[in-house]
Amino acid sequence: QVQPVESGGGSAQAGGSLRLSCVVSGYTAITRCMAWFRQAPGKEREGVAVIDSDGSTTYADPVKGRFAVSKDIAKNTLYLQMSNLKPGDTAMYYCALRRRGYRGGCTVATEEKEFGPWGQGTQVTVSS
C-alpha cells in the first residue's frame, strides 16, 4: 500500500523559506510522476509543482521562480523548496504519486484525479 507522509511545514515570515519533504512508503522507487498540491481554507486543492518520470518539472504561475521540486529516488523522498514565501502561500500542502494506468505527459495542469493516495498533509503558514 503506497502511502505518502509529508513533513517540514510550519510558520514563516514573508520572504522566508521552508523545505517540505514527502516520504513514500510501500513503493520501491518513486519513478512515476509526482506532485505537490495545496489547499487553502475555503478553496479547492490546486497543483503547485510536478516532477515527471523523466525529471522534467512544471510549476503553477503563483510559485514560479520561488519554489523548486526535486526527488531523491534512493530515499523514496520528494522535496519542495519554498523561498520568498508570501502570505498567499498559506495552505495545507500534500504530495502524491500519479496513479497507475495513466499515460502521457504529466504537468502541473494534470487533473487531480490522476493522483493518489493522499497523505495527511503538512501545514504552511506565512505571516506578513
What's the sign of the alpha-carbon dihedral 21, 95, 82, 123?
A: negative
Q: How far apart are CA 10 and CA 91, in angstroms?
A: 10
- In one-letter notation, the amino acid at residue 100 is R
Residue 78 confidence class, pLDDT cut points 50, 70, 90: very high
Grid cell digits, residue 77: 523522498
Q: 5: which residues sit within 8 A by CB, 6+ positions away?
A: 22, 23, 24, 25, 119, 120
Please classify residue 80 by burial: count the beta carbons closer than 10 Å to its beta carbon, then call 0-12 exposed, 13-18 middle and 19+ buried.
buried
Q: What is the pLDDT of residues 99-108, one digit of tens each?
A: 988 988 999 9
Model confidence at 80: pLDDT above 70:
yes
Q: Which of 17, 23, 19 is nearest to 69 (CA)?
A: 19
Q: What is the pLDDT of residues 47-59, one digit of tens each?
A: 999 999 999 999 9
Model confidence at 40: pLDDT above 80:
yes
Mean pLDDT, residues 29-53 taken together: 93
Grid cell digits, residue 119: 497523505
Model confidence at 27: pLDDT above 80:
no
What's the pLDDT score for residue 29?
60
Strand order in the sheet with 10-13: 10-13, 122-127, 91-97, 34-39, 46-51, 57-59
